[in-house]
Structure 1
Amino acid sequence: MVCFCFMVDQKRKMKASKPAAGMCSRCGRGARIADMKTSTRFCLIPIYCRSWRAIVCSFCGSVLKSYR
């Protein structure tokens, strides 16, 4: 029996952001509305790319809510 393992990774990148009303529920700091881009790569070749909007904490970076 042969088993193959390939490298698959996913990166999130914040393209632009602006301040939003509200606070992070995890750390209590301010939140931002951000335009995000997710790239999925398989063996260093990009196979899927998607842009979406999310509310992100400006301090800890956690995604509080996403709009897909």
Structure 2
Amino acid sequence: MVFFCFLVDQRRRVSSSKPAAGICSRCGGGASVADMKTETRFCYVPFYWKYWRAIICTFCGAVLKSYRR
């Protein structure tokens, strides 16, 4: 069953974003509020989507806080 682990992957995509007040605690870059989409794929075919909102760093891309829409 080790072969199965390589057939499933996840992708995170930013669908829209806008600037937010605050700075990143890791690198000191600016922050933005983004609508995110997580896509779980099996053999490159998407079978599960999850939409959520997060505060991300504009410089390093770290997710500072996430919450449901």
Question: Percent of counterpart pairs with the same letter?
Answer: 65
Once structures 1 and 2 are overlaid, which stretch shifts more, 55-64 or 45-54? Answer: 45-54
**Counterpart of 1:5 in structure 2: which amino acid?**
F
Secondary structure of the corresponding residue to residue 13 of structure 1: strand
- The list of structure 1 runs, each at least 4 consecutive aligned residues, that deviate by more than 2 angstroms after superposition, is none
**Counterpart of 1:58 in structure 2: which amino acid?**
T
Q: Which residue in the other structure is 1:5 paired with?
A: 3
For structure 2, the residue ranges without an aligned partner over 5 or more in a row are none
For structure 1, the residue ranges without an aligned partner over 5 or more in a row are none
Q: Which residue in the other structure is 1:20 paired with?
A: 20
Between the aligned partners of 1:43 and 1:33, the Cα distance in structure 2 is 31
Q: Which residue in the other structure is 2:45 paired with?
A: 45
Greater helix proportion: 2
Deviation per residue, 1:21-57 (Å, 9 max, x gap): 1000000010000000000001112111011100000
Shift of 1:14: 0.3
Secondary structure of the corresponding residue to residue 5 of structure 1: helix
TM score, norm. by length of structure 2 = 0.89
Q: Which residue in the other structure is 1:67 paired with?
A: 67
Shift of 1:65: 0.2
1:34 equivalent to 2:30? Answer no
TM score, norm. by length of structure 1 = 0.90
